[in-house]
Homo-oligomer: A and B are copies of this chain.
Amino acid sequence: MSSGGPGKPGALWKPVPRPVRDPDLPTAVRVYEVGPRDGLQAETDVVPAATKAELCRRLLAAGAGRAGLEVTSFVPPSWIPQLADAAEVSAAVLPAAGRTVALVPNARGLSDALDAGYDDVAVVVSATDSFAAANLNSTARGSLVTAATVTAEARSAGRSVRGYLSMSFGDPWEGDVDASRVATMAAELHAAGCATVALGDTVGLGTPGQVADVVRRTVDAGVPVTALALHLHDTYGQGLANVLAALRVGVTEFDAAVGGLGRCPYAAGATGNLATEDLVWMLHGLGIDTGLDLTALVRTSVWLAAERGRSGPSRVLAALSSQEAQS
């Protein structure tokens, strides 16, 4: 309603979410940080390894190690040149207080991750043949077979495994993705030994009714809701509403990237991962414990923006960083 008005808000006013609980929602949630890996791999500018390592240290200091910090991915540099420094970044970050995770698309990646000292790894499966062909040089079924093999090997080496199921809510080649197919593949991934199965809305197409539907079907297919995570992208701005819908059906782990790092490779100019700050604002507003320090997260994003010469698209970041600058 305002055009500014004569007065200015008090300089000491610091906006914070006011906690009002919803008794139907969980009291604690794990926010799994994917900024250094999924965020930076999609950015077009190459970030120096030392900056990535410092980003990881700052995120761990903000509390990201409680649920997990995905540091990097051990993929062939020809696949993702942005992550060619995986070993260097890992050496600078590990050992760390808190849970650190490396993505491993195949046996070679797992071997590299074990050499680097990770206790936790993540594998990737595509729910669609198109995405499997484009990004994993495989089929949907083939990506599941590879992930199951890597998972078995990691577990026999005493490691815990997280399994991503990409394109669970829509695909830019195929459009709709069959929800019962997603549920079945998620159950297979869980049965193969993945402690957590992260359903990925890789393109950000999902809406709340769909998210609740896919989660319910996946639980019905045999995956305990406590073993489920949601990996949401905010391309169409639906991220937080989708989190809210998932909380209501019992999901307690959500992926996010600090500052909203990352881009959508299928829509130039569009945003990438759900921003950690925006997610934490909502969760703390709902009185849900995350173990994260929102102020430290915002400061981390402000620091990274200065390093990179541009800021992430997080709304909370935009609002709070300008507040910090004004005060």
Contact = CB atoms under 8 A, between A and B. Distances in A.
Nearest to A211: B20
A312 to B, nearest CB: 12
B208 A238 contact: no
A318 B269 contact: yes
A307 interface: no
A275 B315 CA distance: 13
A17 B270 contact: no
Interface stretch (A49-57, A88-96, A277-285): A277-285
A33 interface: no
A21 B69 CA distance: 34
A133 B5 CA distance: 9
B238 A281 contact: yes
Given A209-B20, A236-B319, A5 B134 contact: yes
Nearest to A7: B134
Contacts of A101: none
Contacts of A133: 7
B281 A20 contact: no
Contacts of A323: 267
Most buried by B among A2, A5, A20, A22: A2
The 6 closest A-B pairs by CB, nearest first: A207-B285, A237-B315, A9-B172, A5-B134, A20-B209, A7-B134
